Structure 1
Amino acid sequence: MATDATAEHRSLTFLRIAVALQTSAIFFQAVTAGVLLSSSHGEVLHSAGARVMYAASMLYVLAAILAWRPGGGSPRPILYASGFLALASVQVVLGIAHKPSLHVPLGVLMFGLSVLALAVGGRRASTSISRSGRA
């Protein structure tokens, strides 16, 4: 039984790290978008950040699957992570198409959703761990 609680704790920790990485990557994108407007170096930074943000979104999906299956958690984070990966895909397409009127608001929405997932996921993780008897 202690092994199950440890596995669940590890998978939830990995999930929280993945969401935190995604949130920080999106924040980096907001910063580099500002640099993009004022410097020629901004395009390179924003492009590199887009790759990191997309990879972080894929890592979030993987972490959600691992928290669900081996960890015995809820499958709900998989839905959130998959939806976020879909939004990230749309965001990339809009960025490549140079549609800032849609790209920027979607980026703001994605940042808000990612912060919300980080806050709610942390609360759920601490509740789940306290229910399993771990402090």
Structure 2
Amino acid sequence: MAAQTTSEHRIRTLAFLQVALALQTLALFFQAVTAGMLLSSSHGHVLHDIGSRVMYGASMVYVLAAILAWRPGGGSPRPLLYASGFLVLASAQVVSGIAHLPSLHVPLGVLMFGLSVLALGPVLSVRLPRRSGTRSSGTRS
């Protein structure tokens, strides 16, 4: 029974980590879209400002998910290092945006989006452990 509870906890924390990282990646993509809108629309500034808050919050949620996957779940600390790095980059991104430094802000945003996509791949490809009550219906080759 304890093994089943540990397995269910691992499934939940891994799913939370996947959702948090996917949210962060989507928020960064939204920021790229609204950055383009800054050039062509009067609403671009408002959307980019709102998106920056969502992106920063998503980075904090990613750190929380990484802590929960690592510490109580007994997982690898690597996602926590990635999440902490993203939070540092997000902080630098916010500072450079407020200071109106597009020569730093734009490349940093591109870097963050690329790193987020690269981090998302391995997290989404992790196979979740099967529950003890299910059986495979496929044939072996």
Query: Same fold by TM (over 0.5)?
Result: yes
Tell me the CA shift for residue 40 of structure 1: 1.4
Aligned pairs for 1:59-98 (under 5 A) are 59-98=61-100
Q: Alignment RMSD, CA only? A: 1.7
Aligned pairs for 1:1-135 (under 5 A) are 1-123=3-125, 125-126=126-127, 129-130=128-129
Unpaired runs of at least 5, structure 1: none
Which protein shows a greater Rg? 2
Work out the percentage of aligned pairs sharing the same amino acid. Answer: 70
2:65 counterpart letter in structure 1: A
2:70 counterpart letter in structure 1: W
For the 8 Å contact 2:21–2:62, the answer to whether it is kept is: yes
Q: Distance in 2 between matches of 1:33 and 1:25?
A: 12
Cα 1:27/1:95, change in 2 over 3 Å: same
User: TM-score if structure 2 supplies the norm length?
Assistant: 0.88
Stretch moving more, 8-17 or 65-74: 65-74
Q: Distance in 2 between matches of 1:122 and 1:19?
A: 9
How many residues are treated as equivalent by the alignment? 132
- Over residues 64-92 of structure 1, what are the superposed CA-to-partner deviations in whole Å (9 max), with x where a residue is unaligned? 00001122211111110000000000000
1:85 counterpart letter in structure 2: L
Give runs of ≥4 in structure 1 deviating > 2 Å: 129-135
For the 8 Å contact 2:11–2:129, the answer to whether it is kept is: no
1:11 counterpart letter in structure 2: T
Tell me the CA shift for residue 130 of structure 1: 4.4
Q: Distance in 2 between matches of 1:132 and 1:115?
A: 29
Unpaired runs of at least 5, structure 2: 137-141
